[in-house]
Structure 1
Amino acid sequence: MQISTRKFLFLSYYFPPRPEIGGKRVDKLCAVALKRGWQASVVSTSGDLAVDTSLAASVGDVALTLLDRSGARGGSIVKKRVRALFADLLAFMDVVRFFLAARRIKAVGAIPVVMASAPPRRVVVAALLLKLADKNTIFVADFRDPWLRGSEAGKSTLRAVISRYLLGKVLSGADLITATAQATLDQLSRSGVTGVREKSLLIPNAVDLHLFDNVSSRLFAAKNRVIFGHLGDLDYEHRNPVPLLQAVSRIKEESPRIFFGIEVHFWGESGYWQGRDLAGLIQDHGLESAAFAHATVDHNRALGIVKEIDALIIFAFNQPLQIPAKCYEYLLSGKPILALCEEGSETFRLLGKFPGVELVTSPDPDAIRRGVEKIVQDLSAPTETGFTRDLSSLDYEKVFAPLWERIEGMLHR
C-alpha cells in the first residue's frame, strides 16, 4: 500500500489537558510523531472540562476533538452502584460516539493510520470498527493494561464471553499490537489468535528526562518529619491503603519515636474498603495526626509535590502484568520509593533495577512497616550514602521511536 501522507488518528479516553496519567503516554507518543513529521488528530473525552460535545480544539500541533465523558468514576457508593448497573450501556454508547466522531475526521482528513490506547477497552473496539469499515486502514492497538484481568479469562458469564470475543476480533484485526509490559504481550499471544506474536511490539512507558527542570516546589511547613506521599486515585482494588495504615498504626504502638517523625499523605479520589473511605480508615486506625487525605491535584501540582516530599509510595499488588505509569516519574524524582508489589511482577522487575527502592512483596503490615522504617533510616543517614539513578534508557523519545519506525515501514508496503 503506497500512501504519501503521514497522518494518524488517535482514540484515547484520556488526553491533556485532562490530568489522568493514562493520557501522558498518548501525549508523548504524539509528541514523538510530530517531531518525525506526522500530522496528529486525537479523539478524547472532556472529563470535567467545560466543553461542548465534539468541540474541536488544538493542543500544540494536535487537532483535538473532545466528547462529553460518560460514566465518570468517583462519587458515593450509591452513585458507583448505579453506574455499575448501566456500565455496559454506557460502554456501548461510547463505542458508537468514538466511532462516529473518528470516522468523520478520518474521512475528511484522508488519515491512513488509526491508533487506540486501552483502557478503557471501548476505544479500541471503536478503532476496530474503523478498520472493518476501511480495510486499507493501518490499525494499531495499544494496551496500557491487560485486556483480561484476574479470572475473567476463564469466566463463563455473558460479559466475560463478549470480552473474550471482542479481544479476539481486535487481535485479528490489528495490524500492530503494542503494550507497556512484556507480560501483557505474552498474555495476548496466548489468546488463541494466530499471528499475534509476529505483529506485537513492546513499547514501555517512558519519561521526559527534563520533566522536573522547571517545576517549583511549595515546601510543607517545617515539621522535622519524613513525609511519605501517594499521588493518584485510590478507587482500584490493587490500591488498597489498609495494610499501609495498619503498618503505620503498628509503628505508632511499638516505635513511637519513629511514628512521631513521619507523615503519610494521599492525593486523589478515595474508594471504599469495608464501607469506609480513606478519611474514615485513617480515623479508624487512630492516625489523624500522621495520615492525611487530600483532593486530586493537577499534574503540575503533583510534580511539585513529588519534588518536595521525602519518599513516594506505589500500590501495585494484584496487578502482575502492568506497571503503574507513575513509577517512571517517581524514579526520575530521585526520591526513595516504597513499592508494594508481588515478587516477579512487572513493577517488581522494573523498580528492582534501580537503587533507592524498597520493594515490599507482601501486604503483611509488618513487612510494610519494615519497609517504611528502612526508608526513614536511610534518609537519616549521611548524604554520602545516597544513590543516583541512570534513567537514560527510559527517555521517551528513545523508547517510542521504534513504534513510529515500524508504522512508517508499514505505510510503504
Structure 2
Amino acid sequence: MDYKYIFFLKSLQNNSPRTLRFINLWKKLITNYIVIQYGEPSNVNKNIRLLRSFLRLVKSVKNKNLVFMCSGFMDTLYIYLLIIVSSFFRPNLIILDIGDPWNNGNTNLFQNMFEKYVLRKVDLLIVTNVATMQYYHNIYRGKIVVIEQGVDCGLVKNYSLNCKKFNKEGKIIGVYTGRFYKDIRDPKNFFYAIKECAANLKDLEFIFIGDDLSYYFENIKIAKEFNNLKYYNKLPHEEALKFQAKADFLIYFGNKSSLQIPGKLYEYLIWNKLIIAILYPDSIESELLKSYPNVVILENDINDIKRFFNKNIIHKIIENLNTTKSENFPREFCWEYKRDKLKRILMGIYE
C-alpha cells in the first residue's frame, strides 16, 4: 500500500526533541517523506508561502497512507490537518505522531471543539508518554500507542568510554543541557538557592548548555554573581552529550505540567550518574524517578534546594554510586528499540 510521510519541523539543524525524534526514529526507517519547515505563527509571510506549497502537496496524498509529525505550534499543524481531512484528496489512512497536546488541559472551548473534530479523522495517534495517552483517551476514540523519546546509545557508549572527566583541580562538576521556559521550566529558584549557600559550594562548579540561556545568565544578577556557574549557548547535540559524559553529576529541571516528560530525562538516566532532579509538585516524572537510586528529587523551591546543597553531601553520593555503577544501558531507552516498536506498529497497520 502506498504511503507518504509529512513532517512539520521548525528546523533540521536544531536540538529540539521533535527534530531528534524525526532523525533517529522516522528518518532511519522510511524513505518516502517530505519535511515542511515552518516559522513562528507571527511570521505570516513565511507561513503563507508554506501553506501554498502545502496546498500543492495535498493532491499527492490522495489514496495514500499519510503520517503527520509536528514540532511545536500545534495550531499550525491542526490547520494543515484540517485542510487534508476536509479536502477531496483525503488519504486512506492518517497517523499523527504528536508531542505535547495542543489544548494541554485548558478550557478554551474553541480549541476543544477544533481538536476533537480534527482528531476524529485520525486513524492512529502516537504519543510520548502514558499521561498524554490518558489525556487523549478522553477526546479521541481511535487507537493510541506510546513511543517515548529515545537515546543514541551507540554515541553514549562511545563517549562514556572515550570522554575523560573534567580536570578542574578537584572540583565536582554538575552539568545541565537543555532549554528553560519562563514559569514552565524556570531555574530562578535554583540560582537564588545556590547563591545563598555559596559558602558550602566552593568545591562545586555548574555548567549550563542550551538554547536561549542568555536571559538567565546576562539579565539575572544572581547567575552572574556566582563565580562557579558557567554557560554555553547553542552547542550541537553531540557536543552537549560530551559534556554529560564528562560531568560528575547531572542537573534536571522538570516541566510544570502533568502531561509532559522532556526527552532529556531518558538521556540523563542512561548515564547512571547522580541526577539532581528539580521538579514542580505536579511534574509527572516524579513517580518514574523514585525507582532510580541515583536520582535525588528536589522541589523547585528555594528552601528545598538550599537544604540539600547546605548538607554538602554530593561527593559522598557520587562515591557510593561509583561503587555500584553499571555500564549496561537499558535497551528500552535506545532509538533502535523505539524503531523496532514503530516498525511493528506500521506493519500491523499497513497489512
Q: TM > 0.5 between the two? A: yes
CA distance in 2, matches of 1:297, 1:323: 22
Q: 1:232·1:268 contact (CA, 8 Å) conserved in 2?
A: yes
CA change 1:315–1:12 in 2 (3 A) is: same
Alignment gaps of 5+ in structure 1: 46-68, 72-86, 155-159
Partner of 1:379: 318
**In the alignment, is the contact (CA less than 8 A) between 1:229 and 1:309 conserved in 2?**
yes
Matched letter for residue 273 of structure 2: K
- Structure 2 residue identity aligned to 1:366: N
**d(CA) in 2 for partners of 1:354 and 1:202?**
22
Size of the alignment, in residue pairs?
345
Alignment equivalent of 1:260, drawn from 191, 194, 202: 202
Q: Residues 98, 220 of structure 1: CA spacing in aligned structure 2 closer, same or farther, 3 A cutoff?
A: farther
Q: CA deviation at 1:399?
A: 3.0
Cα offsets for 1:357-410 (capped at 9, x unmatched): 1112x2222322344544333124583254666512223232343433333333
8 Å contact from structure 1 (residues 232, 296) kept in 2? no
Mapped contact 1:207–1:329 kept (Cα < 8 A): yes
Q: Which has the higher contact order (CA 8 A, sep 6+)?
A: 2
**Structure 1 residues 103 and 391: CA distance shift in structure 2, 3 A:** farther
- Code of the residue aligned with 2:33 in structure 1: it is S
- Matched residues in 1 for 2:115 and 2:173: separation? 43
Residue 101, structure 1, aligned to residue 54, structure 2: yes
Matched residue, 1:40: 32
**Alignment partners' CA distance in 2, 1:210 and 1:290:** 32
Q: In the alignment, is the contact (CA less than 8 A) between 1:235 and 1:269 conserved in 2? A: no
Report whether the alignment pairs 1:304 with 2:242: yes
What residue in structure 2 maps to residue 182 of structure 1? 130
Deviation at 1:14, TM superposition (A): 4.5
* Letter of the 1:376 counterpart: H
Q: 1:70 aligns with which of 23, 31, 39?
A: 39
Over 3 Å counting, the alpha-carbon distance change for 1:213 and 1:132 in structure 2 is same
CA RMSD of aligned residues (A): 3.1
Alignment of 1:47-126 (within 5 A): 69-71=38-40, 87=41, 89-90=42-43, 94=47, 97=50, 100-101=53-54, 103-104=56-57, 107=60, 111-121=64-74, 122-126=76-80
Deviations 1:167-186 (A, max 9, x none): 11231111111110111121
Q: 137, 140, 148: which one pairs with 2:95?
A: 140
TM-score, length-scaled by structure 2: 0.84
Q: Given the alignment, which residue of 218, 231, 249 partners 2:177? A: 231
- Following the alignment from structure 2 to structure 1, what is the Cα–Cα distance between the partners of residues 202 and 251? 19
In the alignment, the residues of structure 2 paired with residue 96 and residue 200 of structure 1 have an alpha-carbon distance, to the nearest angstrom, of 33
Residue equivalent to 1:75 = none
Deviations 1:17-55 (A, max 9, x none): 433232111222214524xxxx2313142xxxxxxxxxx
Task: Tell me if 1:363 matches 2:294.
Answer: no
The amino acid across from 1:365 in the alignment is: I
Q: Structure 2 residue aligned with 1:25, among 18, 21, 28?
A: 21
Q: Does 1:294 align with 2:232?
A: yes
Are the structure 2 counterparts of residues 96 and 172 from structure 1 closer, same or farther at C-alpha, using a change threshold of 3 Å?
farther
Relative distance call for 1:176 and 1:15 in structure 2 (3 A) is farther
- Partner residue in 2 for 1:316: 254
Q: Paired residue for 1:202?
A: 146
Q: Secondary structure at the match of 1:293?
A: strand
* Rounded Cα–Cα distance in structure 1 between residues aligned with 2:55 and 2:335: 27
Task: Give me the identity figure in percent.
Answer: 19
Residue 210 of structure 1 aligns to a residue whose secondary structure is helix
CA change 1:136–1:22 in 2 (3 A) is closer
- TM-score, normalization: structure 1? 0.73
Partner Cα separation in structure 1 for residue 284 and residue 91 of structure 2: 35
Q: For residues 96-151 of structure 1, what are the alpha-carbon distances to aligned partners after superposition, in whole Å with 9 as ceiling and x for unaligned?
A: 7257337528718985322223422123442342233333332112221122236x
Give the deviation of 1:284 after TM superposition: 3.2
Structure 1: distance between partners of 2:61 and 2:104: 37
8 Å contact from structure 1 (residues 203, 400) kept in 2: no
Distance 1:109 1:298 in 2: 38
Instruction: State how far apart, in whole Å, the 2-side matches of 1:279 and 1:221 are.
Output: 26
Change (3 A) 1:387 1:29: closer
Contact 2:279-2:286 within 8 A present in 1 as well: yes
**CA shift for structure 1 position 13:** 1.3
